[in-house]
């Protein structure tokens, strides 16, 4: 298997000591992480794809909202390009991919900003040109997802958060979602996609880095209140990133088992 040469350069996003509470419940506890620009020698524009994995109730949605600037942490901060994140700085594609029901696909994409010419160019590139005049109710789940992503791209976002992009998709459409995420990441060197999911195999297929979010355990075995990133996996170093058909290899299967087993201990 080919080893792709790359290096990680400047920090694009930093999470510093993020703590979050809901009422008297600690949801996140001292979350720290960074995303750096990944530069490859064999690809002009690589972009970054980071997966946030964790069991149900681990605080993935809370972390997503904080990363998007839609919720403030109890303490700590998130920096995007060195500045505190604000609502609107980061594009978000939620699980339901809401679109304006009274606008066509083209109308929805244009409404996000930019010219009709640029919107049509993106619709063509992402396989939606034939659906430009369709109404949102006429779209499949995968088509709605693509339209929602194009909205964020036309807003000028290089940071994109995706909430459970593989949920309720069959294997064929999961594969297409992975292809879409890869395509978007390679539109620009600085494009950075954070995928929040509980789908381990799909995350391994599409990401270059994984953050495993969960609660640690005290010596007594009791879970410590509040989740944090308990493990960071570098899929580039493990030779799992950027390889077509990697899901058919023994290395992939072994790693998916490793992460799944780690889930069970959280």
pLDDT digits (tens, 9 = 90+) for 63-106: 999 999 999 999 999 999 999 999 999 999 987 777 889 999 99
154-158, 243-247, 255-259: the lowest-pLDDT one: 154-158
pLDDT band (50, 70, 90) for residue 40: very high
Which are the contacts of 209, defined by CB distance < 8 A and separation ≥ 6?
A: 35, 48, 49, 50, 51, 232, 233, 234, 235, 236
- Is 155 in contact with 118 (CB distance < 8 Å)? no
pTM for this prediction: 0.91
Q: Kindly list the domain boundaries of the chain, sorted by start residue.
A: 6-90+158-265, 99-156
| 114 pLDDT more than 80 | no
Sign of the Cα torsion 13, 15, 16, 22 reads: positive
Average pLDDT, integer, range 178-207: 94
Task: Please choose, from the candidates 194, 238, 231, 237, the residue with its C-alpha nearest in 3D space to the C-alpha of residue 54.
Answer: 231
| 169 pLDDT more than 90 | no
pLDDT band (50, 70, 90) for residue 3: low
| 213 pLDDT more than 70 | yes
pLDDT exceeding 90 applies to what percent of the chain?
Answer: 68
pLDDT at 231: 96
pLDDT at 105: 94
pLDDT at 168: 73
pLDDT at 2: 64
Rounded to the nearest integer, the mean pLDDT of the chain is: 92
Average pLDDT, integer, range 13-30: 96
Q: What is the CATH number of domain 6-90+158-265?
A: 3.40.50.300
Task: Please choose, from the candidates 156, 134, 152, 155, the residue with its C-alpha nearest in 3D space to the C-alpha of residue 143.
Answer: 134
Torsion region of 245: left, alpha or beta (phi above 0 gives left; psi -120 to 50 gives alpha): left
| 160 pLDDT more than 80 | yes
- Pairing mode of beta strands 209-214, 192-197: unpaired
pLDDT at 1: 60
| 245 pLDDT more than 70 | yes
| 200 pLDDT more than 90 | yes
């Amino acid at each position: 298997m080919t080893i792709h040469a790359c290096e990680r350069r400047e920090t694009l996003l930093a999470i510093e000591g993020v703590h979050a509470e809901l009422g008297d419940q600690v949801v996140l506890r001292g979350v720290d992480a960074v995303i750096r620009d990944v530069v490859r020698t064999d690809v002009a524009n690589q972009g970054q794809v980071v997966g946030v994995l964790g069991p149900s109730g681990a605080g993935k949605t809370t972390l997503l909202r904080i990363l998007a600037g839609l919720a403030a942490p109890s303490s700590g901060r998130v920096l995007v390009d060195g500045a505190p994140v604000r609502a609107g700085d980061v594009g978000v594609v939620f699980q339901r991919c809401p679109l304006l029901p009274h606008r066509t696909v083209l109308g929805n994409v244009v409404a996000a900003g930019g010219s009709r010419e640029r919107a049509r160019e993106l619709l063509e590139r992402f396989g939606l040109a034939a659906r430009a005049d369709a109404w949102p109710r006429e779209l499949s789940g995968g088509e709605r997802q693509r339209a929602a992503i194009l909205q964020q791209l036309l807003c000028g976002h290089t940071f994109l958060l995706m909430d459970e992009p593989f949920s309720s998709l069959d294997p064929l459409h999961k594969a297409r979602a992975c292809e879409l995420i890869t395509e978007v990441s390679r539109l620009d060197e600085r494009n950075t996609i954070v995928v929040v999911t509980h789908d381990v195999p799909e995350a391994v297929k599409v990401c270059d880095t994984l953050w495993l979010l969960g609660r640690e355990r005290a010596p007594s075995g009791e879970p410590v209140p509040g989740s944090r990133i308990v493990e960071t996996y570098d899929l580039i170093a493990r030779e799992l990133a950027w390889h077509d058909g990697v899901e058919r290899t023994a290395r992939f299967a072994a790693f998916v088992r490793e992460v799944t087993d780690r889930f069970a201990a959280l």
